[in-house]
A and B are shown apart, each in its own frame.
Chain A
Amino acid sequence: MSEASVMTEGSSAHHAAEGGPKSKMALWWFLASEVMVFGGFLAAYILFREAAHGAWNELAEHLSVPLATFNTLLLLTSSLTIVKALDAAKAGRHIAARNNLAITILLGIGFLVVKGIEYSTEISHGFTPLAGMFWSFYYTLTGLHGLHVIVGIVINLSMLVSIMRKGERFKAGNRVEAAGLYWHFVDVVWVFLFPLLYLSH
Chain B
Amino acid sequence: MAHKAGMAYVAVWAWLVILLFVSVAAVYLPFGSTITTALIFLVATVKAVLIGTYFMHLREESRLVRSLAIIPVILFLIMLVSLIPDIVVNTGVHNASAVSH
Contacts and interface: CB of A to CB of B under 8 A. Distances in A.
Contacts of B26: 199
A17 interface: no
A51 B86 CA distance: 10
Contacts of B83: 43, 47
Contact of B69 (A28, A84, A201): A28
A83 B11 CA distance: 13
A84 B7 CA distance: 10
Contact of A28 (B27, B37, B68): B68
A47 B88 contact: yes
30 contacts: A4-B4, A7-B1, A9-B60, A24-B65, A25-B65, A25-B68, A31-B68, A32-B69, A35-B72, A36-B72, A36-B75, A36-B76, A39-B76, A43-B76, A43-B83, A50-B88, A51-B88, A59-B101, A65-B27, A69-B24, A76-B16, A76-B47, A80-B13, A87-B6, A133-B99, A133-B101, A184-B51, A184-B55, A192-B44, A199-B27
A65 B24 contact: yes
B60 A76 contact: no
A126 to B, nearest CB: 13
Interface in A116-135: 132-134
Contacts of A161: none
B87 A8 contact: no
Interface in B55-86: 55-57, 59-60, 64-65, 68-69, 71-73, 75-76, 79-80, 83-84
Contacts of A140: none
Given A4-B4, A133-B101, A72 B20 contact: yes
A170 interface: no
A83 B52 CA distance: 12
A53 B33 CA distance: 13
Interface of A: 3-5, 7-9, 12, 24-25, 28-29, 31-33, 35-36, 39-40, 42-44, 46-48, 50-53, 55, 59, 65, 69, 72-73, 76-77, 79-80, 83-84, 87-88, 91, 132-134, 180-181, 184-185, 187-188, 191-192, 194-195, 199-201
Interface residues of B, number: 54
Contacts of B91: 48, 51
B35 interface: no
A64 to B, nearest CB: 12
